[in-house]
Amino acid sequence: MYKIIGQDGKVYGPITAEQLRQWIAESRANAQTQTLAEGAAEWKPLGTLPEFANHFAPQVPPTIRPLTAGRIPKINSFAMAGLIFGILSLACCCKFLFGVFGLIFSVIGLSQINRHPELYEGHGLAIWGLILSTAGLLLFFAILIFALATGHFHVNWSFNRF
């Protein structure tokens, strides 16, 4: 015979082992339910009693991501630089230069992150750097074509200035 402490804090029992197994099946009792077996001196969790231990799934500890040589993954600097240059390529007047740097740094950062995911984070930063840098370059070429088409941009191809 057994007594248990319910979730409401009340003591239930004495009940038979069969009744307790039924309560486990109905989820009225779990492995942490405090139980007092007949003749026992102290209350114990139900999951620690050998006659009921096999009724509960084993507790699996959470998976911990292994660290390489005790290192914590850090944000890849190239990915961050690619994002910054991508933003600058949209915001500043040197769209072509910043766009090219943004593409280069983002590709390098993405490559390093994919090769060593245990060391680097920042995949999203590198992707956004690629997107913004490409948008900046497209904007640069659109402005250049518009300027050439409207005559606002004049190239002097002659070499004799005197």
What is the rounded average pLDDT for all residues in the chain? 87
What are the angstrom distances between the C-alpha of 103 and each of 32, 121, 124, 129? 56, 18, 14, 7
Please tell me the predicted confidence (pLDDT) of residue 18: 92
Instruction: Name the residue ranges covered by the structural domains of the chain.
Output: 2-55, 72-150
Rounded (10°) angle between helices 123-150 and 77-91? 30
pLDDT of the residue at 13? 86
Residues 18-36 have a mean pLDDT of 90
pTM passes above 0.85: no
More confident residue, 68 or 9: 9
Q: What is the pLDDT of residues 74-91, one digit of tens each?
A: 999 999 999 999 999 999
The segment with the largest mean pLDDT, out of 34-38, 72-76, 89-93, is 34-38
Selected residue with higher pLDDT from 17 and 62: 17
Report CA torsion sign: 146, 150, 154, 158. Answer: positive
pLDDT at 114: 94
Neighbour count for residue 87 (Cβ, 10 Å): 17
Confidence (pLDDT) at 27: 85
Q: What is the pLDDT of residue 7?
A: 86
Name the CATH architecture for the domain at 2-55.
2-Layer Sandwich (3.30)
| Residue pLDDT, tens place only, 45-64 | 988 898 888 887 766 776 76
Per-residue pLDDT at 34: 94
